[in-house]
Amino acid sequence: MAAVIAGAGLLQPGRATGATPGPGPSSGPQAAAPDAQAAPYPLDCKGAAHTVTATAEGDLDGDGRPETVAAVRCDAGSGTPPHAIYVLTQQAGPGATPRVVATLLDPARRQTATDLTVRDRTVTANLLGYSSPAVPRYSPDVKQFAKWRWTGGKFRQELTDSTAGRV
């Protein structure tokens, strides 16, 4: 018994460092998320350029490769044009450009997106909009919290009114 106790004293685990172990040898290099600035977008800006205002990255569909979510709007020079929110994937091969695979927010909804995040395979954003055409476009009065999650082969959206529906 004394020999077992003495042997256990000699076989202590290594010192704890608080570091997270790196990827194992079989995991290979981590794929890079698509570059939102390099993607072509299906956004009709009537001749004006588009602007990527926010991005978030994460593996949304569980395939082990990260996607990029981009909030994009026309560069109007003044005012606050509505956003579109797109999901991008990176095509395989050298020199391949990112491509849009889903539209989460259509600009026709005339909303502005803020606080775009990806966490736990879920995209979230605050959406600012208008309760009627009489509301000035510089002063959105409706705020919604939106979530999108990849389920059953497509993105499903869940909306929650924030601050009693008014900004």
Q: List, for residues 120-149, the tens digit of each pLDDT value.
A: 999 999 999 999 989 987 889 999 999 999
Query: What are the φ and ψ backbone dihedral angles of 135, each rounded to 5 degrees?
Result: -75, 130
Contact 81, 73 (CB under 8 A): yes
Any domain includes 153: yes
| Number of domains present in the structure of the chain | 1
Any domain includes 23: no
Output the CA torsion sign for 130, 135, 140, 143.
Answer: negative
In this prediction, residue 103 carries a pLDDT of 97
In this prediction, residue 5 carries a pLDDT of 40
Contact 113, 71 (CB under 8 A): yes
Distance between CA atoms of residues 8 and 4, nearest Å: 6
The residue whose two tokens read 């009537």 is 46
Sheet of 154-161, strand order: 112-119, 122-129, 142-151, 154-161
Nearest to 86 by CA among 35, 134, 159, 162: 35
Name the stretches of the chain with pLDDT < 70.
1-30, 162-167
Give the β-pairing of 142-151 and 122-129: antiparallel
Any domain includes 9: no
- Please give the radius of gyration of the chain, using alpha carbons only, rounded to the nearest integer: 23
In this prediction, residue 30 carries a pLDDT of 65
Enclosing domain of residue 59: 30-165
Any domain includes 130: yes
Any domain includes 89: yes
